[in-house]
A = this chain, B = another copy of it.
Amino acid sequence: MPRAGLSTAAVVDAALDLIDDRGLNALTLAAVAERTGVAAPSLYKHVGSLAQLRTLMAVRIMEELTERSTSALVGRSGDDAVAALMRTYRRYAVDHPARHAAMPPDPLHDPALASAGTRLLEIFLAVLRGYGLEGEAAIHATRCLRAIVHGFASIEAAGGFGLPEDLDTTHEQLIHMFTASLPRTSS
């Protein structure tokens, strides 16, 4: 019996591919095992449990989203940056609905997720920093942005909006609504 040459990262990769293909609730150790070509118990040599696999996947996803967001934000600031961040987040959720659904809503509660979650949150904070928001005001604005972005992406990714056609318009309207609520720094 030749070795499969598996690793924790490879298992996470396979799990992410799996949910991309067949949806989040198709995530099962048996399915991951089949996809990696090993028997189900063998996976325990690489991940501690299904729950841990889920956290590892969430870390990966948040890192991926962080990376895309930072890329989208280079050279932008103000309303332009906010819009880019919102569009990037939305596109990610539409392109990878299962991955978006696999992100926990409370990453900071799990020590294993706190680091990746903080990095993602700091992007939101950074974008708003350009508006002169400090301390508490920055927190409120970040929460608002997070709620909007998460809410829209969740519903859209789940197919929860009736007509798919002019969702772009709705999203642009949402972007405008949020940016309009931010303080204008100068002329």
Contacts and interface: CB of A to CB of B under 8 A. Distances in A.
Given A151-B149, A154-B151, A144 B173 contact: yes
A102 B89 CA distance: 24
A124 interface: no
Number of copies: 2
Contacts of A186: none
Contacts of A161: 143
A41 interface: no
A109 to B, nearest CB: 7
Contacts of A141: 173
B150 A155 contact: yes
Interface of A: 104-109, 136, 139-141, 143-144, 146-152, 154-155, 158-163, 166-167, 169-170, 173-174, 176-178, 180-181
